[in-house]
Amino acid sequence: MHDDRTLVEARLKRVLTERIRPAIYPESVPLEVGVWHAPGEPVPVAEGLAAPREPIAVGTPWGPPWGTSWFTVTGTVPEEWQGRIVEAVLDLGFNPEKIGFQCEGLVYRPDGTPVKSLNPRTQWVRIANPAQGGEEVCLHIEAASNPIILDYQPFKPTLLGDKETAGTEPLYRLARMDLAVFDKTVWELAMDLEVLGDLMHELPVDSGRRWEILRAVERALDALDLQDVGGTAEAARAELTGVLSSPAEPSAHRISAVGHAHIDSAWLWPLRETVRKVARTASNMTALLEEEPDFVFAMSQAQQWAWLKEHRPEVWAKVVKAVATGRFVPAGGMWVESDTNMPGSEAMARQFVHGKRFFIEEFGVDNEEVWLPDTFGFAAGLPQIIKAAGSKRLLTQKISWSQTNTFPHHTFLWEGIDGTRIFTHFPPIDTYNAQLRGGELAHAARNFKDKGAARHSLAPTGHGDGGGGTTREMVARAARLRDLEGSPTVTWETPAEFFAKAEAEYPNPPVWVGELYLELHRATLTSQAKTKQGNRRSEALLREAELWAATAAVRTGADYPYEALDRLWKTVLLHQFHDILPGSSIAWVHREARRTYELVIEELNGIIDTAQRALAGEPTGGTLVFNGAPHERHGVPAGGAAPEAPAAAVQVSPREGGGFVLEDGRLKVEIDGRGLVVSAYDLRAERETVPPGRAACLPQLHQDFPNKWDAWDVDEFYRNTVTDLTEADDVRLDGATVVVERSFGKSSLTQRLTLAEGRLEIDTEVDWHETEKFLKLAFPLDVRADRYAAESQYGHTFRPTHTNTSWEAAKFEACNHRFVHLEEPGWGVAMVTDSTYGHDVTRDVDEHGTTTTLRVSLLRAPRFPDPETDQGLHRFRHALVPGASIGDAVREGHFINQPERRVPGSAPVEPLVTVDDDAVVVTAVKLADDGSGDVVVRFHESRGGRARATLRPNFPVAEVVTTDLLERPTGEPERPGAAIPVSLRPFELVTLRMKRAARPAVSR
């Protein structure tokens, strides 16, 4: 037989595009259109519906950046359309390619009931099936003219990312506002041909199945009269029945399709727009669920559900009904799909507390799955937190974005720092916006690394952000792909249904130990410094606010601010969303975030101050020092207060050859005439910290222009060029502080170096006006270390200092919380910080031996998506602690983040709980969220070893019980003695809930 394959394939392509798809709507009449352009920010629905309309013609430009226009379309269904399916086709001027990132609409009936959304790939609204003819049509559209930020020339700086700079030029042109006949048979034919055409292209050219499909397609096209597509579509479909009914091979890959719309809680739009994006998508999906009995849709991020409940009750009501059917599924159990590298221990825990609690309280749903398709890497502290929240499974596809190494598994057990293992799945379809096209499915099957041992994978299916979610076309594809020869099978399922099958078929999956490092987006640890500092400061203050408010409640009967703490936690958790805390959102988002953090910090300081004044009582002269850190400090117990003690003196002297020498009996630091630290001598260990001939506390400036994703990425080549900022404008003494001033480019830098209790405190102020530069602070250390530790949630994670393999080389920028620590046996150095997350560690060998250089990342200046990223004044605090053990690093990390507070008073405050082992760190002391008045204490082993400790509640306790993070009992309640013995494995996390007794408890 002659080979006419490419001819038939080209014929299918043209006929489908030029004849069949246009025949889906064979007849149409224009609708009358009126519009009201809302003058400013979005208005309530009732106001938009009621506003007066002016006529507007199709073809008219509309929509300045970030505007809202309320359209009303009216018309009458022609009498001759009786018996047909009639739809409104409403094209706001969509760009069919930029699916989630442009104008969008939500359609309402005149009574305000939401109908569905309008998006580039869903421009229809069903009017009648079958039509009577003569129906009056009236629909309202709340249309948002969101600008395209990520355009055809992506990553080009744009002023569109903030309403204040975006201008007022209309961005869109009304394209089509019609009533039309929908020819269902032609649409079904289009779907048949699309699915078969897709499949055909994925099959080997020499496979019989491919040729059977080709011949059936040819017969179908032959059966079609191109002048009467509607009249012959049924006959064409009949030719395809055979190939469409041939079942899948027994070994076919099995895909669980989960309807989904990945909605970034803020990104290339402000938070307020996400509220509307969620309303549009949820309306669209409740409408689709009503039409499609097999379809299942999953929506994550409790915050987004809470927005619906608060702001769009009419949509919320529909969602609640759909959830009851079991097909609109709350997915995951976090408040938002947060970053997981940077959130601190308690914040990471509270993501689960508030997320899970919302789904439990609203729907009785307690998910065991964690849904984080898009998060930029996963800290090794996370598995323990997932388990402590009562979950056990994780889904993400993001690691497929890694630039260097291919992850070896798609289904595996992920083991965290404490040994907790979480059943984890990476969808091999490599997207969270699957459309169930043949190419995607074939890629999933081919790509699946666990073939042979496992057969199931998940496909999050639907357009995210502003795309409206899953489309009826995707549902139609799934119906044809349920059991089709040559294709993976496709079944709509919930995440839980998928995981149950995946676990059952794979009893011994491979194990991955340690962090899931994303080899991309490493600059998200540094970009938008003020957002990051706001997060770190808020986390520290939330800890203190709970601690002091709980102490005041128990000791003095003061009211515990339940409502404020709940609200403030949720605000901080929202801002940990994976485009806010990482600094990858538009200017508008970060401008608002800075203001929000200011308000959060102010309110938390107020709560702390009120509680501490209640505890301090009437001022009687003297100063009381409150220690909010989890370790004793200056004789003040952790979580207690005591009268101020005098601080140790620091000796200052001029240095030979210029500069100054600082000494406090533990550490002797030499700062040279350039303002650089040329010596940091540990007087007790008699050991130098700075390698011979090197200088620490050295600011270094790099060119930093990544190939893509400016705010997200720093590419490895940034290290090829570096400028050491050794020139000082001034090096002087201010009391016992050495002040160093430098200027470079258009920027200036002032450092204040102080010695306190064996640590060198470095206060860095930068007035930053650079473009596409990366500023680091370098500390060459005379330590030979093959690995180093960086704090993560409830412990620390080790990373290599060498680059033996591509996996190690790829970790050239990594995350720390409060400390980075490196050591030789018996002696180590810690760097602690109250504000930065990014760092890099490298090694050198010279005639003096091996040295290790730690550099903390201070500032970047990417120009996309915020063209003014980080311009202006910044302040960072770090401390170098020579001679530090890992335990010292933990303690100093807390100290720099929890400064002492001074309040008038003189009567000491006894801590609510004390622990007699410094390795056991208390991360939370609070009253139970249920308002019972129970005291909740959370602690963990912080050094990676075993700990036996005694925990003493210094208040009468009737009953104590271990709980999960949601404060639900996990053990049997016990009547404790005065001391509670605890025994912890490395990094083990424990939560205790203590019921308060009316009278002091009797010791056993």
What's the gap between Cα 738 and its chain centre?
Answer: 40
Q: What angle, 0 to 180 degrees and rounded to 10, lies between the N-to-C axes of helices 313-324 and 271-291? A: 40
**Residue 495 C-beta: closest distance to Zn ion, Å:** 17
**Residue 460 C-beta: closest distance to Zn ion, Å:** 11
Query: Catalytic: 183?
Result: no
What are the Cα distances from residue 553, in Å, to 605, 926, 928?
A: 17, 10, 12
Q: Which stretch binds Zn ion (CB under 5 A): 86-94, 373-381, 652-660, 940-948?
A: 373-381
CB distance 371 to 300 below 8 Å: yes
675 CB contacts (<8 Å, ≥6 apart)?
659, 697, 728, 731, 738, 740, 741, 742, 751
**Residue 518 C-beta: closest distance to Zn ion, Å:** 13
Phi-psi region at 167: left, alpha or beta (left = phi > 0; alpha = psi -120 to 50)? left
Q: Is 465 in the site for Zn ion (CB under 5 A)?
A: no
CB distance 343 to 382 below 8 Å: no
- Secondary structure of the chain: what % helix, strand, coil (to 5)? 30, 30, 40
List the x/- string, 651-670, binding to Zn ion by CB under 5 A.
Answer: --------------------
Task: Tell me whether the omega of the peptide bond preceding residue 865 falls within 30 degrees of 0, making it cis.
Answer: yes
Closest residue by beta carbon to Zn ion: 374
Nearer to Zn ion, 145 or 300 (CB): 300
**Residue 371 C-beta: closest distance to Zn ion, Å:** 12
**Residue 472 C-beta: closest distance to Zn ion, Å:** 25
**Residue 578 C-beta: closest distance to Zn ion, Å:** 6
Identify the helix (H) or strand (E) that includes residue 663: strand 660-663
Strand 819-824 and strand 827-833: the pairing is antiparallel
Footprint on residues 218-277 left by Zn ion (CB under 5 A): 264
Q: Which residues pair with 851 in a beta bridge?
A: 844
List the x/- string, 779-798, binding to Zn ion by CB under 5 A.
Answer: --------------------
CB distance 33 to 177 below 8 Å: yes
What are the Cα distances from residue 551, in Å, to 353, 485, 909, 942, 999?
A: 22, 67, 9, 24, 17
**Residue 681 C-beta: closest distance to Zn ion, Å:** 48
Handedness of CA 474, 477, 482, 485 (dihedral sign): negative
Q: Is 539 in the site for Zn ion (CB under 5 A)?
A: no
Q: Is 763 in the site for Zn ion (CB under 5 A)?
A: no
Cα pseudo-dihedral 136, 137, 140, 143, rounded to 10: -160
Nearer to Zn ion, 264 or 964 (CB): 264
Footprint on residues 826-885 left by Zn ion (CB under 5 A): none
Q: In what order do the strands lie in the sheet with 114-118?
A: 54-55, 32-38, 67-76, 136-145, 104-108, 114-118
What are the Cα distances from residue 115, in Å, to 110, 142, 308, 524?
A: 10, 11, 15, 38
136 CB contacts (<8 Å, ≥6 apart)?
74, 75, 76
**Residue 307 C-beta: closest distance to Zn ion, Å:** 17
CB distance 840 to 855 below 8 Å: yes
Identify the helix (H) or strand (E) that includes residue 284: helix 271-291
User: In whole angstroms, what is the distance from residue 916 CA to residue 914 CA?
Assistant: 7
**Residue 464 C-beta: closest distance to Zn ion, Å:** 7
Footprint on residues 558-597 left by Zn ion (CB under 5 A): none
User: In whole angstroms, what is the distance from residue 297 CA to residue 313 CA?
Assistant: 20
Nearer to Zn ion, 374 or 503 (CB): 374
Nearer to Zn ion, 70 or 426 (CB): 426
| Alpha-helical regions (H) of 872-990 | 886-897
Among 374, 715, 772, 900, binds Zn ion (CB under 5 A): 374
Of 318, 313, 304, 297, residue with least CA distance to 355: 304
Nearer to Zn ion, 425 or 821 (CB): 425
CB distance 716 to 808 below 8 Å: no
Q: Which residues pair with 983 in a beta bridge?
A: 948
Of 334, 434, 459, 449, residue with least CA distance to 391: 334
User: In whole angstroms, what is the distance from residue 662 CA to residue 670 CA?
Assistant: 7
Number of residues that bind Zn ion (CB under 5 A): 2
**Residue 397 C-beta: closest distance to Zn ion, Å:** 11
**Residue 621 C-beta: closest distance to Zn ion, Å:** 56
For 301-332, what is the HEC assignment? Answer: CHHHHHHHHHHCHHHHHHHHHHHHCCCEEECC
Catalytic residue among 374, 566, 715, 763: 374
**Residue 205 C-beta: closest distance to Zn ion, Å:** 38
List the x/- string, 677-716, binding to Zn ion by CB under 5 A.
Answer: ----------------------------------------
Of 878, 879, 871, 673, residue with least CA distance to 766: 871
Q: Is 400 in the site for Zn ion (CB under 5 A)?
A: no
Q: Which stretch binds Zn ion (CB under 5 A): 69-77, 205-213, 370-378, 838-846?
A: 370-378
245 CB contacts (<8 Å, ≥6 apart)?
none
SS3 143: strand
The residue whose two tokens read 């470079």 is 744
**Residue 264 C-beta: closest distance to Zn ion, Å:** 4
Of 415, 352, 417, 409, residue with least CA distance to 386: 352
Hey, how many other C-beta atoms are within 10 angstroms of the C-beta on 150? 17
Q: For 482, what's the count of Cα atoms within 13 Å in the CB-facing half-sphere? A: 9
Question: Which positions lie near Zn ion, rule CB under 5 A?
Answer: 264, 374
**Residues that are catalytic:** 374
